[in-house]
């Protein structure tokens, strides 16, 4: 038996190969196909439960923007998601898998809450600035912890950042049931509601977090695209050895980038406690940190695309809640429909990065 026939038998029938480059046109076509497949699959599910897909989809789209109140609700959903997705983007570009956005959001909220509760006598503008900086510091320090252990001991950042989420969550429980418990609360313990002096101002009927998010989109795009530090992040993400060969201080870059990543996520926590909830509770993050990973990944880690994808996600979430109440459907239906749509969009995203090679294509 020849060596060629032996190598053919040993070679798998199908192999997955990473694409070196894909044109913008093909990316757009694949994205449109993904959206079409998601809509069709969702429509089949809607038919299976005895509803009209066209009516359901129309309600979802209109429900997110049908009135001023609905529009404000959609924007409020988008604010923390946008900021958190921007936050994990620098770390992901560096191939540092920051799964700890939830914890960093929580720590930003905790640090901001401290000043809202105990420094409420300060002037309104000064207090908000201090709370903003405190939120950044809280989230940034929480991001520094896994970065330090990664650079010092080579720990797995995925597991480390994930576990820190739960530590942060239980810290909230400690403060609610302990030193920050509202003495006036009857029944279940809670933290006192912030006074108006410690709340974010509203702009066009929505708290100023949306303006902070838009500013962060521009700032982060410029930082990652046109600055030396942004270039260093991309080089470390491509190859740590190349970065070291070029004379870059890789440990310093990782520590700095993770502080920035956590700090931006901390801003999301600050906007939630001061602009939406007016207090600190266990639902301050509400799963936003995990959804932000999907948003950032679908946006190819581009801050401008993140803004667009965030609006689509927020529209879907708000529209599904309207659909649920309009047609009297279970909340499970809304969750299943969102899951089907995301599954197909993420599935098609695979083909923008990889391709199948069959044995005969040797």
Q: Tell me the pLDDT tens digit for each residue of 59-111.
A: 988 888 988 999 999 999 999 999 999 999 999 999 999 999 999 999 999 99
pLDDT band at 226 (very low <50, low <70, confident <90, very high): very high
pLDDT band at 47 (very low <50, low <70, confident <90, very high): very high
What is the pLDDT at residue 156?
Answer: 94
Instruction: Find, among 280, 306, 319, 290, the residue nearest to 100 by Cα.
Output: 290
Is residue 362 over pLDDT 60?
Answer: no
Q: Provide the 10 A C-beta neighbour count for residue 224.
A: 19
What is the pLDDT at residue 10?
Answer: 63
What is the pLDDT at residue 30?
Answer: 78
SS3 184: coil
pLDDT band at 125 (very low <50, low <70, confident <90, very high): very high
Is residue 223 over pLDDT 90?
Answer: yes
Q: Residues 6 or more apart from 182 whose CB is under 8 A from it?
A: 189, 190, 191, 192
Pairwise CA distance, residues 191 & 274, whole Å: 13
What is the pLDDT at residue 136?
Answer: 97
Average pLDDT of the chain is 90
Is residue 8 over pLDDT 70?
Answer: no
What is the pLDDT at residue 18?
Answer: 76
Quote the percentage of the chain above a pLDDT of 90: 67
Q: At what angle do helices 288-298 and 68-93 cross, to 10 degrees?
A: 70
Is residue 286 over pLDDT 60?
Answer: yes
Q: Give me the residue label for tokens 């053919």.
A: 8
Tell me the mean pLDDT in the region 110-130. Answer: 96
What is the pLDDT at residue 333?
Answer: 83
- Say if CB 139 and CB 265 are below 8 A apart: yes
Is residue 360 over pLDDT 70?
Answer: no
SS3 72: helix
What is the pLDDT at residue 16?
Answer: 79
What is the pLDDT at residue 336?
Answer: 87
Higher pLDDT, 354 or 74: 74
Lowest mean pLDDT among 6-15, 252-261, 296-305, 329-338: 6-15
**Domain limits, CATH 1.10.3470, in the chain:** 65-328
Is residue 9 over pLDDT 70?
Answer: no
Assigned CATH topology for domain 65-328: ABC transporter involved in vitamin B12 uptake, BtuC (1.10.3470)
310's enclosing H/E stretch is helix 303-327
CA 270 to chain CA centroid, Å, is 15
Higher pLDDT, 334 or 46: 46
Is residue 3 over pLDDT 70?
Answer: no
What is the pLDDT at residue 339?
Answer: 86
């Amino acid at each position: 038996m020849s060596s060629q026939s032996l190598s053919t038998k040993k070679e798998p029938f199908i192999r997955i190969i990473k694409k070196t480059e894909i044109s913008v046109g093909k990316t757009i076509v694949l994205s449109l196909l993904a959206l079409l497949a998601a809509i069709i699959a969702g429509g089949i599910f809607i038919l299976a439960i005895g509803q009209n897909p066209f009516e359901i989809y129309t309600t979802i789209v209109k429900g997110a923007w049908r009135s001023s109140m609905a529009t404000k609700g959609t924007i409020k959903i988008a604010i923390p998601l946008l900021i958190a997705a921007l936050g994990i983007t620098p770390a992901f570009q560096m191939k540092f898998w920051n799964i700890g956005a939830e914890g960093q959001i929580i720590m930003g909220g905790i640090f901001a809450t401290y000043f809202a509760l105990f420094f409420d006598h300060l002037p309104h503008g000064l207090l908000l600035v201090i709370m903003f900086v405190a939120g950044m510091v809280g989230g940034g320090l929480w991001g520094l912890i896994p970065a330090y252990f990664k650079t010092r001991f080579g720990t797995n950042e995925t597991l480390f950042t994930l576990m820190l989420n739960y530590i942060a969550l239980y810290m909230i429980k400690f403060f609610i049931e302990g030193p920050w418990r509202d003495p006036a609360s009857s029944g279940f313990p809670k933290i006192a509601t912030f006074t108006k002096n410690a709340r974010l101002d509203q702009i066009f009927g929505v708290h100023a977090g949306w303006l902070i998010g838009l500013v962060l989109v521009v700032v982060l795009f410029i930082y990652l695209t046109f600055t030396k530090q942004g270039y260093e992040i991309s080089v470390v993400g491509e190859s740590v050895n190349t970065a070291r060969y070029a004379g870059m201080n890789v440990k310093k870059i990782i520590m700095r980038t993770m502080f920035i990543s956590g700090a931006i996520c901390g801003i999301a926590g600050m906007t939630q406690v001061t602009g939406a909830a007016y207090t600190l509770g266990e639902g301050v993050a509400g799963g936003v940190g995990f959804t932000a990973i999907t948003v950032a990944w679908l946006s190819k880690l581009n801050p401008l695309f993140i803004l667009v994808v965030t609006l689509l996600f927020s529209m879907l979430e708000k529209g599904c809640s309207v659909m649920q109440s309009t047609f009297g459907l279970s909340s499970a239906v809304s969750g299943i429909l969102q899951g089907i749509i995301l599954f197909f969009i993420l599935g098609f995203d695979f083909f923008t990065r990889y391709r199948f090679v069959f044995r005969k294509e040797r």
